[in-house]
Structure 1
Amino acid sequence: MEKLNQGLLLTREFNAPRKLVFQVWTDPAHFGKWWGPQGFSLEIAKMDVRPGGEFFGCQKSPDGNHVMWGKFVYREVNEPEKLVFVQSFSDEQGNTIRAPFNPNWPLEILNILTLEEKDNKTTLTLQGGPLNASDEEQAAFDEMAPMVKQGFGGTFDQLADYLASQL
């Protein structure tokens, strides 16, 4: 049986309807325009949003010197309110690999994204944590949690700007 270790809980309100927020998370025409660290570009090689489907893509730093491949394997897709996916770093062939920045980073992170709409605004809640992590992997995740939270803050800022451009 798999074990979800302790993780992060992030909440953010967006000035957009839930249907649109869900769409920009699941449509490759939108997702590549806002996902990832600020300044990085995202090339999507594959995006099949259904249970068992995968996202597979490559993020490049502004100078082009840093390239990171990653993937999501979708477990649950409940439009327009919930996405559950396992996120991993990968090589160019889609094989799960260790993160380039920390040899103890967990191989898999389970993310549970929920969207609730009220008064044409959407509250996004993202709960994420290591899956089946060793003590060393959990410690690496815990140590980097503030940076991960800050990174998602930047990504969510980009999402807010992108949503505003779509209204």
Structure 2
Amino acid sequence: MTVQSKENYEVLLTREFNAPRELVFKVWTEPDHFGKWWGPKGFSLEISRMDVRPGGLFLGCQKSPDGMSMWGKFVYQEVIAPEKLVYVQSFSDEEGNTIRAPFNPNWPLEIINILTFAEENGKTTVTFIGGPLNASEEEQAAFDAMKPMVKQGFAGTFEQLEQYLASQQ
């Protein structure tokens, strides 16, 4: 996995999966699959809603091993199957109203995530670009301070994705 920062975006992760692009895209966009691998290691994900189309909404609750719950949402901006997903990610309440992150009052309200899926020789490379959207100086500083943890969290999520994809073939 490649992890680096560029000036035009905040976080860049690139990972190759030993699976066809259609399958990789499917497990990112169907709730029966997505809920089985998404999120930090040890957390579970309960999906309340998942409507993957421009303007559609994902709403889910992650639960930590010690029982802490955090709701989050994605608002899909662009969906080009099986090539690209663009969504704005936020913390939310159970109804999908955007709220502040429970761990930091200065965490950006919105993070834009852009995923591309490219296949070569039966393997799929996922490129994940993300960063704050319309962030204040305080929000940007909070994101910058947590960037190593964000990268580490996504690295773990991608490991879970790799294991899940292996179980689907």
The answer to whether TM tops 0.5 is: yes
- TM class, shorter-chain normalised? over 0.9
Q: Does 1:97 align with 2:99?
A: yes
Q: Which residue of 2 aligns with 1:132?
A: 134
Partner Cα separation in structure 2 for residue 92 and residue 166 of structure 1: 31
Q: Which residue of 2 aligns with 1:165?
A: 167
Identical aligned pairs, as a percentage?
Answer: 78
The alignment partner of 1:105 has SS state of coil
1:24 aligns with 2:46: no
Q: 2:86 aligns with which of 63, 70, 84?
A: 84
What amino acid does structure 1 have at the position aligned with 2:27? V
Q: Displacement of 1:92 after TM fit?
A: 1.3
User: How many angstroms does 1:63 deviate by?
Assistant: 2.6
Query: Partners in 1 of 2:24 and 2:166 — Cα distance?
Result: 11
Q: How many residues align?
A: 162
**Which 4+ runs in 1 deviate beyond 3 A?**
none
After TM superposition, give the deviation of residue 6 of structure 1 in Å: 4.0
Q: What are the equivalent positions in structure 2 for 1:5-154 lying under 5 Å apart?
A: 6-64=9-67, 66-154=68-156
Please give the TM-score of this superposition, normalised by the length of structure 1: 0.95
2:4 maps to none
Equivalent residue of 1:7, what SS? strand
Gaps of 5+ in 2: 1-7
8 Å Cα contact 2:100/2:107 also seen in 1: yes
CA distance in 2, matches of 1:81, 1:6: 20
Cα offset for 1:62?
A: 1.6
Q: For the residues of structure 2 that align with 1:115 and 1:97, how far apart are their CA atoms?
A: 30
Superposition TM-score, scaled by structure 2 size: 0.94
Q: Secondary structure at the match of 1:94?
A: coil
Summarize deviations over 1:73-123 as a string: whole Å, max 9, x none: 000000001000000000111110010111110000000000000010101
CA deviation map 1:2-42 (0-9, x unaligned): xxx74111111111000000000000000000000101100
